[in-house]
């Protein structure tokens, strides 16, 4: 089964039809917040064949740590605010929007030594692919994943009643939002 996420084709004229919408008065579909997991792999050849194939996910997650195609799971508290965008006014009072900068704000509260070494290695700035999953089970990233940059830093609070966390961001540029599907993992 191939990926169900098709690329967005932007309109090329003022007469192109608008996309479909779907609202329900009796049974609206809603989703709750919080990104709970980030799945991470190397950027080179790290894409999936089908993000809806549970066996492919399980196989990739079970690879040896030394295999660059291994997908690792980060357990996080994270959110994704609206992306930053630049509007440019062009001739005839028209407005265009270029690529948007998307950001995940990430906190990792399990700060053991293995995770600390992960943080240190990520400080090198290696380009990676990620997929992110919300607490209610939506998976973002499609088969290709999202290529971007992860920045993490350790924060040690002044209080003994607060947790040390690894906090940071994952950023990428894209004109459109990433593909979304119901998670099979």
pLDDT by 10-residue block (mean), the chain, 185 residues? 76 91 96 97 93 97 96 98 93 91 98 98 94 98 96 97 98 95 96
The strand pairing partners of 108, in sequence order, are: 166
Strands 87-90 and 72-79, sheet pairing: unpaired
Q: Is the pTM of this model over 0.85?
A: yes
What confidence score (pLDDT) does residue 2 get? Answer: 60
Structure tokens at 159: 């209080």
Cα pseudo-dihedral 73, 77, 80, 84, rounded to 10 = -100
Q: What is the pLDDT of residues 52-79, one digit of tens each?
A: 999 999 999 999 999 999 999 999 999 9
Domains parsed from the chain with CATH numbers: 35-182 (4.10.410)
Element (H, E) at 154: strand 146-155
Helix (H) or strand (E) holding 130: strand 128-134
Backbone CA torsion sign across 125, 46, 181, 6:
positive
From residue 8, give the alpha-carbon distance in Å to each of 60, 107, 157, 176.
27, 31, 44, 8
Query: What confidence score (pLDDT) does residue 5 get?
Result: 84
């Amino acid at each position: 089964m191939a990926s169900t996420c098709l690329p967005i084709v932007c309109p090329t004229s003022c007469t192109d039809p608008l996309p479909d919408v779907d609202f329900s008065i009796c049974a609206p579909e809603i989703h709750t917040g919080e990104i709970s997991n980030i799945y991470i792999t190397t950027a080179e050849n790290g894409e999936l064949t089908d993000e809806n194939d549970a066996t492919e996910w399980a196989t990739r997650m079970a690879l040896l740590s030394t295999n660059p195609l291994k997908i690792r799971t980060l357990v996080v508290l994270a959110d994704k605010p609206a992306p930053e965008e630049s509007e440019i006014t062009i001739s005839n009072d028209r407005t265009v929007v270029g690529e948007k900068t998307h950001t995940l704000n990430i906190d990792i509260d399990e700060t053991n030594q293995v995770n600390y070494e992960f943080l240190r290695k990520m400080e090198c700035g290696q380009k990676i692919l990620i997929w992110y999953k919300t607490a209610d089970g939506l998976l973002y990233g499609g088969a290709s994943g999202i290529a971007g940059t992860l920045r993490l830093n350790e924060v040690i609070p002044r209080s003994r009643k607060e947790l040390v966390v690894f906090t940071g961001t994952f950023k990428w540029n894209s004109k459109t939002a990433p593909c979304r599907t119901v998670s099979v993992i």
